[in-house]
Structure 1
């Protein structure tokens, strides 16, 4: 669906240097801290900014060659953007109808009712959660094959985040669809994505299938003395703590079998990100 090969974009104090792929039928997550480069990567693949070098393909074409038909197959939610606040949902419906050949008005209205989105109220009076739900419904309303969602759950409470993720799970029940979703709330994506890319300072620092990340990666919590005795072959990064070290490994079972006396935790995505970004290489 989407492929970025060595895509670079240089700004005064930031450089994107990114390679990634979103496969058909997959939900791919892009996780990282605020300012890590998630939005820049999204803008590059959509052709909203021109990259300095590298290759981008989206639906089999470069972004600048996407025609109206291909663009209708993409549903987009960008962080910090939204609809004109002086419009209502009733005002938006004829706009969507004109923009998208496959706009499903009946489905859209049904979902607005389901999520209690008022049709006549000005969008500027919507809460953050209502705005996010409206943006996602708009992206889902025209039978898109690909969703590109930049921080769609940012600023939402736990209930609203789960509602949005459930909407996206229903979307993926149809074959031939894909989602690329970014979030700095990486725990949202643990049970949702098929694979995860981790980005830091514009660079991809880790790519792994989520199942393997959760099953085979682990965090060793060891004293300084235990650390010295460890086989460091399968340690990706270490992070110094008051008690000693937290070490990230992608071969948890090796250390469980060979070092039964040390503490080994499964580790959640947030902890893995912290050690990958803040830790030191061995």
Structure 2
């Protein structure tokens, strides 16, 4: 579906260097702190900005080669994008019908009703949750094969975020040939959604792993100085000094639980992995 090979985008004080892939039938997450390069990567693959090196292939084509028919297969939600606040949902329906030959009006209106998005209220009067739901509903109701979602749940309450994630799950269940690339710095949103996750930091991909592997095999070792001194370090990825001793990130938590029963080895949540990979030190 999507292949990005050695993509380079240079700014005066920032450089993006990115290689990643999204397979059909998969939801792939891109996580990282604000300013890590997520939005830059999305803009490049959509052809919104030029890039300085590397290759992007979407549906087997570069962004410049995509036809109108190809672009209709993409559903995109970008940070800061949206409809004019002086329109109502019923006003944007004819616009969407003109833009997309595959626009599903009935499905669009049904989802708006289901998600409590009013059709006769000015969009400027919507809550942040309503606006976010409207953008995602628009992306999934023109028979797109590939969704590109840049921070679609940012700034929303828990209920609104879960409603959007459920929309994405339903979208994937309808057709096993579809795919989603979604970015977020709210890692908990992606743990139960994504098949695999890329982690980006300061413009570089620092980790790619299946979500199941991250949640089941990664762990956080909490060791005193004495325990740390006697620790086998061959499966330690990062170390961070703490007041009580050391935090150690491992991708082999069972090994340490079995061989060091007196040492605390916690399950590694995605936030823990991010913090250790971006703030910890290599041995």
TM-score scaled to structure 1, two decimals? 0.99
Q: How does 1:1-282 map to 2 (within 5 A)?
A: 1-173=1-173, 174-282=175-283
- CA drift of 1:119 comes to 1.3
* Structure 2 unaligned spans of 5+: none
d(CA) in 2 for partners of 1:4, 1:150:
16
Are the counterparts in 1 of residues 214 and 268 from structure 2 also a CA contact under 8 Å? Answer: no
Q: What's the CA shift for 1:58?
A: 0.8
Deviation at 1:120, TM superposition (A): 2.1
Moved more, 82-91 or 239-248: 82-91
In structure 1, distance between residues paired with 2:87 and 2:67: 27
SS at match of 1:143: coil
The answer for unaligned runs of 5 or more in structure 1 is: none
**How far apart are the structure 1 equivalents of 2:107 and 2:137?**
9
Deviation of residue 265 (structure 1)?
0.3
Q: Residues of 2 paired with 1:181 and 1:58: CA distance? A: 15
Q: CA deviation at 1:260?
A: 1.3
Backbone CA RMSD of aligned residues: 0.8
Distance 2:200 2:176 in 1: 28
Q: Secondary structure at the match of 2:205?
A: strand
TM superposition shift of 1:88? 1.2
CA distance in 2, matches of 1:117, 1:39: 26
Task: State how far apart, in whole Å, the 2-side matches of 1:149 and 1:22 are.
Answer: 13
Deviations, residues 114-158 of structure 1 (Å, cap 9, x unaligned): 122121221111111000000000001101000000000001100
Matched position secondary structure for 1:148 = strand
Aligned length: 282
Structure 1 residues 200-247: Cα deviation after superposition (integer angstroms, max 9, x where no partner): 100011100000111111110001111111111111111111111110
**Alpha-carbon distance in 1 for matches of 2:192, 2:111:** 24
For the residue of structure 2 that corresponds to 1:71, the secondary structure is helix
> Residues 186-206 of structure 1, C-alpha deviation per residue, up to 9 Å, x if partnerless?
011111100000111000111
Distance in 2 (CA, whole Å) between partners of 1:41 and 1:131 is: 23
- Whole-angstrom distance in 1 between the partners of 2:96 and 2:155: 26
1:39 & 1:77 partners in 2: Cα distance?
11
**1:74-133, CA deviations, whole angstroms, 9 ceiling, x for partnerless residues?**
000001111111111111101100111110001111111112212122111111100000
CA distance in 1, matches of 2:17, 2:103: 36
